[in-house]
Amino acid sequence: MKTRGKASTKSAAKTSDTRPTEATTAKVQLSTESTNPPHLFVLPKDLSQNARIVTLENPRSFNDDRYIICPENGFFEFIKIATPNTSPRSWLLSTDAENEKGAAKPSSDSGYVTKTANLLIATRIDPLFIILPALCPPPTGKTSEPTTKLFLSSFDYIEKVTKVSPHFASFSQVESISALLESRMAAVCDTVEAGDELMYRLNEEKLLGELLKKAQNMTHKGLPASMEEKFVRKALDPPMLSIKRDESSLSEAAKEEVATLDSQTTVSSVDTATGSISEASTAVSSVSEDLPTISAVAKPKELSLVNAPDGVAELLRIRTALFFMCSAYVAPHITESLKKLLASSTSTFDFTPLDVYLAQLAKLRQDALASRSLGDFSRKRSMAAEDGESRAEKKRKKDEDEKSRKANQSRGVQQLKKVNVSGMKKMSDFFKKK
């Protein structure tokens, strides 16, 4: 018998075994992702050798954040600059070591490609914000009443910071750091001498004054363009009011009057041909002198970028900068007390003109919205559209209820619901009385 079929099956089996291995073998083997990837920092040039990156409590969120403490230059925070998720980017990190002759040395390190193009920039932060949670701790328990403020020494306040941020213990005994914190506490606290030691207690009015000074410094060179556009210009932009029909008819009548006066002037100049040229020019000038109000009505004045009374825009910029600082560096319970103090009459800045003007703008916007809704009948929705929206809302709620009901059911119950039970008796039929 011929056995060629057996040999062919063996060779086919060998080829079938080798093909998947060749297909699954990748040309480039990627290394595993690092559990501790490198980060790219931009640090100040004048940092001392004793400067360290430490973990401190965030004064706003009370979470742990990274900071730089330098005995010579103070405190720095890290600002993270990240690319949006819609446009992913990466950093290629590599080192090019050169010898004395300028030739590159061969390095075993082939570089690193980061997963994201994040950049951490170290910027200065006022030590006042670091010590502020110790000066005014948040209320404890369910009651929102603030805790009683007592006169304490600088050592006691620094101990509070060390308790919540253990990394700060290595810098708490440094004289330059202690002196820096004491100088910032003296700017916002009431002080009392107890023997040879100075005691501190937070004064909210002094704290508000210090923050207002910072807000003024922010507005001297102008707010960023995005903040100016969103919080200042749009807030002070008056609404577009609809033009009344009688006003438009008056303007048309004024234009017709100008046209008739011009025609009368030309006719009179033609009829008085025997008169002198000087008399005709005098007549034309006398007519033109009677028309300045009409030309002013026809061409309204152009509005400036911020159309507001004098000083109102600057007050809004200062308050915007103040609220921005509070939202980034001041605890919520301190921010609420500062806002109440800012609205009181004891504040150094009087924001009453700003509040009055904003209230007038709010009333104008309401009037403009009411007049627009009454006069524009084309934007009224029909009953069919409202019925369609109500049906869609009911369907959405029904689908959500169905999903929640299915989520609470087991897999076995869901499979039993798919069984065809037509012609079968129910379980209750077997337990009926005969």
Question: What confidence tens digit (pLDDT) does each residue in 243-285 have?
Answer: 554 444 445 544 555 455 454 444 344 344 344 434 433 333 3
pLDDT greater at residue 339 or residue 423 = 339
Residue 236 structure tokens: 């002070």
What pLDDT is recorded for position 269? 42
pLDDT given at position 350: 84
Of the candidate ranges 68-77, 322-331, 367-376, 385-394, the one whose mean pLDDT is the lowest: 367-376
Q: What is residue 265's predicted lDDT score, i.e. its pLDDT?
A: 45
- Residues 63, 132 share a domain: yes
Would the pLDDT of 432 be above 90? no
337 plus 198 within the same structural domain: no
Q: Is the pLDDT of residue 130 over 60?
A: yes
pLDDT at 302: 37
Q: Is 20 among the domain residues?
A: no
Q: Are residues 175 and 313 in the same domain?
A: no
pLDDT digits (tens, 9 = 90+) for 5-14: 455 555 544 4
The secondary structure of 28-78, three-state, reads CCCCCCCCCCCCCEECCCCCCCCCEEEEEECCCCCCEEEEEEECCCEEEEE
> What's the rounded mean pLDDT across residues 409-423?
81
Buried b (16+ CB within 10 A) or exposed e, 46-72: eeeeebeebebbbbbeeeeebbbbbbe
Q: So what's the pLDDT on residue 377?
A: 54
**More confidently predicted of 277 and 111:** 111
Higher pLDDT, 110 or 316: 316
Instruction: Please tell me whether residues 160 and 250 are part of one structural domain.
Output: no
| CA 223 from centroid of its chain's CA atoms | 14
Q: Which residue has the higher pLDDT, 19 or 219?
A: 219
pLDDT at 210 > cutoff 60: yes
Contacts of 358 (CB under 8 A, 6+ apart): 235
In the numeric block, which tokens belong to residue 3? Answer: 């056995």
- Least trusted range by pLDDT, from 150-154, 210-214, 359-363, 405-409: 405-409
Residue type (1 letter), 76? F
Residue 387, pLDDT score: 74
Task: Kindly report which listed range (48-52, 146-150, 374-378, 429-433) carries the lowest average pLDDT score.
Answer: 374-378
Q: What is the pLDDT of residues 222-249, one digit of tens each?
A: 898 889 988 988 888 887 765 554 444 4
Q: Which helix (H) or strand (E) holds 92?
A: strand 92-93
In a domain? residue 213: no
Kindly tell me if the per-residue pLDDT of 113 is higher than 50: yes
Q: How confident is the model at residue 53 (pLDDT cuts 50, 70, 90)?
A: very high
Mean pLDDT of the chain, nearest integer: 77
If asked whether residues 315 and 360 sit together in one domain, one would say yes
Distance separating alpha carbons of residues 272 and 289, to the nearest angstrom: 21
- For residue 145, what pLDDT band results from cuts at 50, 70 and 90? low
Q: Is the domain of 254 the same as that of 193? A: no
Judge if 264 and 187 occupy the same domain: no
Q: What is the CA radius of gyration of the chain?
A: 39
Same domain, 66 and 174: yes
Regarding whether 250 and 365 lie in a shared domain, the answer is: no
**Strand boundaries in 105-259, DSSP class E:** 112-113, 119-124, 152-153, 189-194, 197-202
In this structure, are 182 and 160 located in the same domain?
Answer: yes
Tokens linked to 308: 């507001």
- 341 and 284 both lie in a single domain: no
Total number of domains in the chain: 3
Q: What is the pLDDT, as a whole number, of residue 294?
A: 35
Out of 322, 341, 373, a domain closes at: 373
Range of the domain at 266: 245-298
